[in-house]
Structures are given as structure tokens and as C-alpha cells.
Amino acid sequence: MKRKLFTKALFNFRNISIPVLLAFATFAGYGEFNHLTGIGENIAIPAGLGASAVIYIALVLQSLNSKTFFDKVSAQEKKRLLRELNEKCVQLAYEAKRHLNSAYYARLKKVMDQRTDILNSYKNGEKSYLKGKIVEQTLNLLLTYLKLLINFAIRSKELSNVNISDIVNRVNANNRKLTFNANTSVAEDIKRAIEMDQKMIDKIKNERLELEKISAKLDYMESMVAMYRQQIISSLESEEMLERIETVINEADALDTVLEERNKRRYNA
């Protein structure tokens, strides 16, 4: 923020225009000034430019120490940041549509409508640092929700196509074969097949349990967005809200990272 503030002060229109006008006035009025004072060009013009430089530096320093200027730059930066976060949310929501069934699409639409209400409330209502920070973090929460939702939907669709009963039936059939097979070599092959199928069954069961946990986390995140929408509209912001958002974002990020890595490994296999 300090670097951004300094850059804004350097290129502020007022800070540039006043010294530039003074420099132009120095050149434009030199002839008459020389006629009245007799001061030569080698002294008058450098003095005028030097004065312009001093005034420019003074104006920049004044801007850097001005609360009004700081508040103005902060408001501009907040507006830019919220716009960028909102655009990312819209892009991810558009991507999510391709992977969702009708039930989850309805939930997505609801949470995106709540996002609109939150942004409109901030735009049209009384602004404060805390409110702006909570709106920002709520959008970050929504981004994390959308990423998690996409990976959840992709993996859920893949697992829904896996019929675990076929694998269970194959294990049961091989167990029966093992009971009546006296050939040691064949029996070892059957045992290995049973072991591989059992690992597959356990893996699928574990993944389904993890997806249930992720589904519960998505429910919770949706509830948080709805609750924060109400609190933001009602101007009931608190520091505790920020802490809760950050905790949920971190937890959801961890779940999404695991899910995304698994999806990548499957695609690259």
C-alpha cells in the first residue's frame, strides 16, 4: 500500500500540473521579467525550474501526509480489488455450471445472488475499513467455495459412475474359487486379485467419505455467505467475522488442494 500511495502521489494531477504551469510561466514570462529586472537567462530560467521542482516535492510530501489523500487512494484500491475478486468469482461460477447437476446449480445461483447483494450493500451504504475488509474476505471465501465446488462436482460425477457392487461381487466370487482351489500357484493369483480389488473398494469408500465431508463444508460455507450478507446489509460487522472467514478459507483450501491433486494425478495417469 505504501508503494501504491507513493506512486499515486508522484502522478497526482494537482501535484504535476501546478509545477508544470509554473515552469511554462517561467519560459513565457522570461522576456518581460528580464526587461524589468535585468536578470539574465542563465539565472532566471534555472531559478524558475528549481522553484517548480521544490513545489512539486512539497506537494508530493503534502499528499503523502494527507489523510484525505490516503483515504481517497485506499478507496480506489479497495474498489479495484473488489472488482477483480468479483470478476474471478463470475469466471469460476461460469466454469462451475458445466459440472453441476440441477440441485447444485440452484445452490450456486443462490450464493451468487447473495454476492450481488453484498457488493451492492457496500457500494451504496456507509463505508468503513472493517466493512470493506469483510466484503473482501467474503469474496475470497466465495472464490475458495467455487474452486472446491468445481473439484467436488468433477470427482462426484466420476465416482457416481463406479459400481462398487461389481467389485464386491468379484471379490466374493474369487473367495469362493479360493476355497475350492488346491493349486498353489492359481491360489496365489486369486489372492492377489482379491487384495487388489479390496484396496480398490477401500479407496472408493474412503473417497466417498471425504466427499461427504467436503459436501458438509460446502453447506457450511454457503451458510456463512448468507449470514455475512445479512450482517453486512445490517452493518453488524465485527473483527470476529474476519477471523472466522480466514479459518474457513484455510480449511477449505486444504480440502481443495487434496482433491485437485488427486484429480490431476488421475488425468495424468
- Its pTM stands at 0.74
Task: State how far the Cα of 191 lies from the Cα of 147, in Å rounded to an integer.
Answer: 41
Q: Residues 225-255: pLDDT tens digits?
A: 999 888 888 888 788 888 888 888 888 888 8
Q: How many CB atoms lie within 10 A of CB 59?
A: 18
- Tell me the pLDDT tens digit for each residue of 64-94: 676 676 667 677 788 889 999 999 999 999 9
Average model confidence (pLDDT) for the chain?
A: 78
pLDDT of residue 158: 84
CA Rg value for the chain? 33
- Residues comprising the chain, all counted: 269
Phi and psi (nearest 5°) for 100? Answer: -100, 145
- Residue 178, phi then psi, degrees to nearest 5: -65, -35
pLDDT score at 114? 94
Q: What is the largest CA-CA distance in the chain?
A: 123
- pLDDT of 242 reads 82
Considering only residues 22 and 44, tell me which one the structure prediction assigns the higher pLDDT: 22
Position 25 pLDDT exceeds 90: no
pLDDT tens digits for 42-72?
444 554 556 666 666 666 666 667 667 666 7
146: pLDDT confidence band, cut at 50, 70 and 90? very high
For the chain, the structural domain boundaries read 1-65, 129-268
pLDDT tens digits, one per residue of 185-199: 777 888 888 889 888
